[in-house]
Amino acid sequence: MSYWVKLQDGRDIYVVDLEQVSAFTCIEHGRVSFHLPGNSQEIVLTTKANPQAYRLVLAYVRLLSDGTVPGHWLTLKYDRDILVFNLQALSCFCLGDSGKISFTLPHSNQGVVLRETTHGAMYHKVLRYVQQVTRDPMADSPPPDSAPGSSP
């Protein structure tokens, strides 16, 4: 089911399906931003400049944070922002020697670095996800030549 919103950014009016947006950034003082699906244009909504669109988008972000919307959505307090993003939309993870996990949010240049010591629960959720998507399904099955009843 789509979640379409109509919003104005400067002189332009956009009609956006928020289900196609894969990451949102919220700041506690009345600002929410996201990148338009399919490109890197950032939309920034504030309570002062566009209160109605801000409320609509924030309501959707809260649904994501509450787990109401299906998917691998995570909510992370990062620096002074709250990031809400879909793990399935990430296309690259870096697992560093020092144990850190880093990735870049889709359609933006915002990098995220997680360390077990500072982001414990979130670090483990992302690590489990990476392990799941990189798991070799053939690793659990015996090699073809060692099947039961086969001769050596």
What pLDDT digit, counting tens, does each position of 127-136 carry? 999 999 888 6
Tens of pLDDT, residues 105-129: 988 888 999 999 999 899 999 999 9
* Mean pLDDT within 76-89: 92
Cβ atoms within 10 Å of 126's Cβ, excluding its own: 23
Both structure tokens of 5: 């919103």
147 occurs within a structural domain = no
Average confidence score pLDDT of the chain: 86
60 exposure class (CB count in 10 Å sphere: 0-12, 13-18, 19+): buried
Which structural domain, as residue segments, surrounds residue 104? 4-135
Confidence of residue 149 (pLDDT cuts 50, 70, 90): low
Q: For residue 30, is it within any domain? A: yes
What does the alpha-carbon distance between residue 107 and residue 152 come to, in Å, rounded to a whole number?
Answer: 53
Nearest to 24 by CA among 10, 43, 52: 43
pTM, 2 dp:
0.82
Query: Is the residue at 141 inside a domain?
Result: no
In total, how many domains does the chain have?
1
Mean pLDDT computed over 14-27: 93
Q: Which pLDDT score is estimated for 70?
A: 77
143 is a domain residue: no
